Amino acid sequence: MERVEEASDLRRILASVRADGRRIGFVPTLGALHEGHLAHVPILAAHTDYVVMSIFVNPLQFGPGEDFERYPRSLDRDAELAQKAGVGLLFHPQVATLYPAGAETLVEVPELSAQLEGVVRPTHFRGVATVVAKLLNLVRPDLTSFGQKDLQQLVVVRRMALDLHFEGEIVAVPTVREPDGLALSSRNTYLDAHDRKAAVALYRACRAGFEAVVAGERVPSRVEEIMAAVLGAFPRIRPDYAVVRRLHDLKPMERLVGRVALMVAARVGSTRLLDNLVMEVGPDGVRETLA
Ligand code: PAF
């Protein structure tokens, strides 16, 4: 595996990969790698010839008072894991490489970004869209993967890539879970033992919503009540939202049909966690699906 910090080195290596006619897969990350990140590599490798991973704790997507300073950083360990997983090139730029002095261009997907996470983190998706646009321009991948766990991020990035005519496909990678259902997240390391136990509430709320739809419920507000009741049964959980939305634009629906997302966000102690479940609601029944 090659490791580069400079954009010029990244471009030089990728030019020669492309010149060999090899297709490029790309997974952008913040580092602190876990199985959830590593699961992207075989998926990209199955459809491309060379997998690039970026590790960059992007200051622009952290708001004031958020965890930018304490976000876990473990570059050497991450590099070992990435190499074992089959990454061909690890790009870990300095902040000044992606945001050189004088940089001021921002990428915004305003409507999609303002709701749900955007209510609590108003500048978050502008930071994500801006850095992802920069990374896509540098890497020019044939295929880029994003984890389904951050579902609104996936929807925002898909919109941005479409609106800005980025070439290359975007795929969702399924959420990897602990045995009790908790979605893997680098922020799970912040949870103490009590909070860790309570954190399973988010997954349980999504499952309860899903089961209600499987049982025939088609009114979104009733499904949302069921999800909220599950979260409410855990005293350590402070929910931000438990909602049912149309997948492609995250808009509320009148009745559940087509591709639908069940989305929850909650604080567990001082840690904010997210989870979701996506389903296809059709005339012949309901099945869980990938976003
Ligand atoms: O999901 C993440 O890890 C980050 O938001 C991303 C996509 C790497 C952008 O910084």
| Range(s) of the domain holding residue 270 | 186-279
Same domain, 234 and 125: no
Ligand 1 pocket test, candidate residues 26, 27, 29, 157, most atoms within 8 A of CB: 29
76 token code pair: 């050497």
pLDDT tens-digit profile of 70-119? Answer: 999 999 999 999 999 999 999 999 999 999 999 999 999 999 999 999 99
SS3 118: helix
Nearest Cα to Cα of residue 234 among 202, 263, 208: 202
Same domain, 72 and 97: yes
Same domain, 141 and 29: yes
Beta bridge mates, 3: 90
What is the pTM for the complete model shown? 0.97
CA distances from 16 to 27, 46, 83, 135 (A): 19, 21, 20, 18
Point out the residues of the chain with pLDDT beneath 50.
none
Total structural domains within the chain: 2
**What's residue 117's pLDDT?**
98
Query: Which residue carries 């490791």 as its tokens?
Result: 3
**What's residue 177's pLDDT?**
98
The arrangement of strands across the sheet holding 271-282 comes to 237-246, 258-268, 271-282, 285-288
In angstroms, how far is the first alpha carbon of the chain from the final one? 30
Assigned domain for 23 exists:
yes
Q: Round to whole Å and give the CA distance between 99 and 246.
A: 35
Same domain, 215 and 137: no
Assigned domain for 180 exists:
no
Distance 225 CA to ligand 1 centre (A): 31
> Quick one: residue 168, left, alpha or beta (phi over 0 = left, psi -120 to 50 = alpha)?
left
Same domain, 38 and 106: yes
**What's residue 37's pLDDT?**
98
- Is the CB of 135 within 6 Å of ligand 1? no
CA atoms within 13 A on the CB side of 213: 33
Q: Round to whole Å and give the CA distance between 2 and 83.
A: 9
Residues designated catalytic: 37
Distance 249 CA to ligand 1 centre (A): 19
Distance 285 CA to ligand 1 centre (A): 34
Nearest Cα to Cα of residue 27 among 113, 95, 93, 87: 87
- Is the CB of 132 within 6 Å of ligand 1? yes
Handedness of CA 57, 250, 262, 142 (dihedral sign): negative
Same domain, 117 and 254: no
Could you tell me the CATH number of the domain that includes residue 79?
Answer: 3.40.50.620
Distance 119 CA to ligand 1 centre (A): 19
- Is the CB of 152 within 6 Å of ligand 1? no
Same domain, 80 and 14: yes
What percent of the chain clears pLDDT 90, i.e. is strictly above it? 100
Q: Round to whole Å and give the CA distance between 259 and 257.
A: 7
Could you tell me the CATH number of the domain that includes residue 274?
Answer: 3.30.1300.10
Nearest CA to ligand 1 atom 5: 128
Nearest CA to ligand 1 atom 8: 29
Ligand 1 pocket test, candidate residues 62, 90, 139, 150, most atoms within 8 A of CB: 150
